[in-house]
Structure 1
Amino acid sequence: MRQQWFDEARFGMFVHFGLYSAAARHEWVQNYERLTDEDYRQYFEHFDPDRFDAGALARQAKRAGMGYVVLTTKHHEGFALWDTALSDFDSVTACGRDLVREYVDALRAEGLRVGFYHSVIDWHHPDFTVDWNHPRRGDADVAALNAGRDMDRYRAFLHGQVRELLTGYGPIDYLFFDFTYPHDRDGLAGKGPEDWDAEGLLALCRSLQPQMLVNDRLGIPADFVTPEQYQPTSPLMRDGRPLVWEACQTMNGAWGYDRDNDDQKPVDLLVRMLVDSVSMDGNMLLNIGPDGRGAIAPRDCAALDEIGEWMQLHRDAVVGAGHAPFAPPREGVYTQRGDRLYLHLFTWPLGFVHLAGLAGKVTYARFLHDGSWLRTSVADPDQVADLMTPEGEPEGTLTVHLPVARPDVVLPVIELTLAD
């Protein structure tokens, strides 16, 4: 039952914020540009999130119809957004603010579920060994760099910081670890579950926050799986059993603030991705990357506002909804919530949409956005279609009659009330 709220919410916000936000050229900038700690230090020295407003962020998420938010407490760069006692590479040292505290308090004030992201990778820590993901992987003598580094000490540090997060901020609903890469590459090792003591770390989470959901990126099974930057094409299964899953998606391909990246997904695509996830019993976690001063970028605010307008009218087709046991028409996908079946029309048909297997199973049809009734009919499968008569559909097909003009909403939804 720990996942009941998660299955109900269906839609969450991911927030990537850190030193990379001021660099403004992808959250992996330190890795991509192979920056040393000295190169990267300037972003710490100038970290000034004067426009980071956790209350405004929480209200933006709530207006968008999201039920939970997940903040990067620490990304791969190693910079902590809370008052950690284990390092001075944190927001309190840099700017005098515990941003995790501000965030948790703001979410609780809005009635939203609290999620933490925490990287098990730490490129700043002196005991984290250089591997094929590390910014220093291209140095002439990696073995010399690794001399004296001790992953036992790093594991103790990792577990200690997770303990701080799970004991210092009250009940936490969700923890997203990131990530495990056990294979070798370019002559260098990766890091697997044993490098994090994944079993021990998960056990720590269970002991400190037994109701908290934990994702699958420690490299061992946990509560839910996290496909990233792609959409599954069917409900996820393993060994014949359904998986709890969440699609992690960006606005523009980057997680952190990327000033010059204009590859913004249109709102209609984002909404289709959301309902596509719900139609397969999944969630969608949609990311924003606040800028170097901590503000949500105007382009992201505009997209969230437009999604929120759609969610205000169509919330019932998403929140608490899930997979439907009917084959959808070619024009869209179904979600279902109790006795209500929702047809999300990705394409707008001319005059009619034919729903296989629903004849005799629907008592009422309407547009969800304005509640307006839609006429339905059942075609005679033995009658050949001719001229202006939409006959010839397979037996059991229900036809919904539509106006020629597409409704002026991001994604039209037809609500069908199912018979008992």
Structure 2
Amino acid sequence: MNLKKLSLLLLLMVITGTTFAQKSIGNETDAQKKKRMEWWTDGRFGMFIHWGLYSGAARHEWVKHNEKIDNAGYQKYFDQFNPDSFDPKKWAKTAKVAGMKYAVLTTKHHEGFCLFDSKYTDYKATNTAAKRDLVREYVNAYRAEGLKVGFYYSLLDWHHPNYTIDDIHPQSPADKSDASYERMNKGRDMAKYRQYMRNQITELLTNYGKIDIIWLDFSFPRKDGHGKGKDDWGSVELIKLIRKLQPGIIIDNRLNLEEYKDGADFETPEQVGTDELAKYRGKTWETCQTFSGSWGYYRDENTWKTHRQLLDLLITSVSNGGNLILNVGPTARGEFDYRATRALDSMAYWMHANNRAIYNCTYAPDTYKVPENDKLTYNAKTKKLYVHLYYYPQGGTVTLPGYAGKIKYAAFLNDASELLYKPSPGNPDDLILTLPAKKPQYEIPVVELTLQ
């Protein structure tokens, strides 16, 4: 095509709003993808588990990076790792009672330590005092509770001798010069590390049965060349391998494959505020969040979210068409932190009564305006609209703006008790919902509206 014809084509595309088709790695249709991911979009709520040697340090999962610890200095955490209280059946039951539908465990985090029995490394749980394949026990326990099973695998590896030192490596040079990086990386070979990574991912996706999700974390390409992206990981070939081994698996978006339509299955806004989640409406996404300010166990960290904040994360995620995966960082003995257990118990109490407003739900159609101070979730299959009462009115009424003629029954979701409503004297298009003086014993009660 000559330059003149190309210019005319580009002008036509601007005028009509047409874009070039995005490249694809595979040949899955949109309908096939929707079907493959249906259980995930219906479930809405999952458990993340960050567990590794850093639990022994108990001061953030990036402790090796933050304190510039080398492999020799970090060895003590491997030598002392002995999770004698690890009971994955208890973990799984806790997740299920909390209303979670799936879980994702860190099989290997950036520190390079493997919780599974890999034949490609000695740096694994079976060579510690644990003497167990902790991943296999996790898989068996969560499957037994009917939960979907996912693996997290770090693309980074601060222990492997062939993983090249980059800008966020614990041994990153202070002066950041090309010469310093070149000197420190002498003898290291990313091609060998890529093969190591492929071998381990192959183990994870062949030795543990059906795996429902894989989280690969993370890419950080840099203009100065001291980061890592798709070429460093061999991302295109890696995603082909994953799809071949586990055709039904769901893959996160951290392989740096944004140029491909099927380079990821979902977006992953991390630790963002609830106000930011609205911009993801209409996309396929999951926000990953911690109970506190750390993913790994952090004994002295105290910025723990309140029950209301956790509920707000869940409700706001669903009201914008997304999922929430909440993280637990078990202790070095293999137990959930008491603060995490307390938070999960509070979620369990609310979810037992109100999970219909979460499962199979999404954002409401635009024809339903959001009542003041509240949030809406919507189930298209059952024709139910859910009003999450963030602020229980002292006056005992809630205005449903423009809802006249649109609903046929109203009730509290927690006990199915009827709530009466009538047209607004000031505006016949609005309905006035009457609430009892006593608020139900839930931080955020839910009203279930059966639609016409």
Query: TM exceeds 0.5?
Result: yes
Deviation at 1:14?
Answer: 0.3
Which residue of the partner structure matches residue 388 of structure 1? none
Structure 2 counterpart of 1:334, from 361, 366, 376: 376
Distance 2:278 2:423 in 1: 29
Distance 2:387 2:324 in 1: 19
Q: Kindly indicate whether the alpha-carbon contact (under 8 Å) linking 1:83 and 1:98 is maintained by their aligned counterparts in 2.
A: yes
Which residue of the partner structure matches residue 135 of structure 1? 170
2:444 is aligned with 1:407: no
2:264 is aligned with 1:222: yes
Residue identity matched to 1:43: Y
Deviation at 1:93?
Answer: 1.1
Structure 2 counterpart of 1:362, from 360, 385, 407: 407
2:284 is aligned with 1:244: yes
Deviation at 1:351?
Answer: 1.9
Distance 2:118 2:49 in 1: 20
Which residue of the partner structure matches residue 384 of structure 1? none
**Structure with the larger helix share:** 2
Distance 1:99 1:300 in 2: 20
Which digits, 9 at most, give the CA deviation of each residue in 1:52-74, with x for residues without a partner?
11111000000000000110000
2:245 is aligned with 1:208: yes
What is the RMSD of the two structures over their aligned residues, measured on CA atoms? Answer: 1.3
Distance 2:443 2:225 in 1: 48
Distance 1:201 1:398 in 2: 55
2:248 is aligned with 1:197: no
Number of residue pairs the alignment of both structures matches: 401
Distance 1:302 1:361 in 2: 40
Which residue of the partner structure matches residue 34 of structure 1? 68
Which residue of the partner structure matches residue 77 of structure 1? 111
Deviation at 1:139?
Answer: 5.3
2:363 is aligned with 1:323: yes
Distance 1:346 1:115 in 2: 33
Distance 1:68 1:81 in 2: 19
* Structure 1: gaps of 5 or more residues: 381-391
Distance 1:306 1:298 in 2: 12
Which residue of the partner structure matches residue 292 of structure 1? 332
Structure 2 counterpart of 1:89, from 105, 123, 143: 123
Residue identity matched to 1:402: L
Distance 2:283 2:325 in 1: 16
Residues 1-400 of structure 1: pairs in structure 2 closer than 5 A? 1-94=35-128, 95-138=130-173, 141-184=180-223, 189-220=226-257, 221-230=263-272, 231=274, 232-234=276-278, 236=280, 242-325=282-365, 326-337=368-379, 338-349=382-393, 350-380=395-425, 392-393=426-427, 396-400=429-433
SS state at 2:301 partner = coil
Deviates more, 1:317-326 or 1:395-404: 395-404
Distance 2:293 2:249 in 1: 28
Deviation at 1:330?
Answer: 2.1
2:451 is aligned with 1:418: yes
Distance 2:277 2:246 in 1: 33
Which residue of the partner structure matches residue 387 of structure 1? none
Q: Taking structure 1 as reference, are residues 357 and 235 closer, same or farther at Cα in structure 2, changes over 3 Å only?
A: farther
SS state at 1:147 partner = coil
Deviation at 1:306?
Answer: 1.2
Q: Kindly indicate whether the alpha-carbon contact (under 8 Å) linking 1:173 and 1:211 is maintained by their aligned counterparts in 2.
A: yes
SS state at 1:313 partner = helix
Distance 2:387 2:186 in 1: 60
Distance 1:327 1:157 in 2: 53
Give structure 1 regions of 4+ aligned residues with deviation exceeding 4 angstroms: none
Q: Kindly indicate whether the alpha-carbon contact (under 8 Å) linking 1:180 and 1:192 is maintained by their aligned counterparts in 2.
A: yes
Deviation at 1:188?
Answer: 6.2
Residue identity matched to 1:147: K
Deviation at 1:143?
Answer: 2.6
Distance 1:259 1:45 in 2: 20
SS state at 2:138 partner = helix
Q: Kindly indicate whether the alpha-carbon contact (under 8 Å) linking 1:84 and 1:90 is maintained by their aligned counterparts in 2.
A: yes
Distance 1:93 1:357 in 2: 64
Which digits, 9 at most, give the CA deviation of each residue in 1:64-105, with x for residues without a partner?
000001100000000001000110000011131100000000
Distance 2:436 2:212 in 1: 44
Deviation at 1:178?
Answer: 0.4
Which digits, 9 at most, give the CA deviation of each residue in 1:363-393, with x for residues without a partner?
111111122211111114xxxxxxxxxxx34
Which residue of the partner structure matches residue 386 of structure 1? none
Residue identity matched to 1:406: K
Distance 1:27 1:138 in 2: 21
Deviation at 1:357?
Answer: 2.1
Which residue of the partner structure matches residue 18 of structure 2? none
Deviates more, 1:326-335 or 1:283-292: 326-335
Q: Kindly indicate whether the alpha-carbon contact (under 8 Å) linking 1:53 and 1:294 is maintained by their aligned counterparts in 2.
A: yes
SS state at 1:175 partner = strand
Distance 2:429 2:205 in 1: 54
Which digits, 9 at most, give the CA deviation of each residue in 1:321-347, with x for residues without a partner?
111112212221111122111001112
* Structure 2: gaps of 5 or more residues: 1-34, 258-262
Distance 2:52 2:248 in 1: 28
Distance 1:150 1:233 in 2: 40
Distance 2:166 2:211 in 1: 32
SS state at 1:234 partner = helix
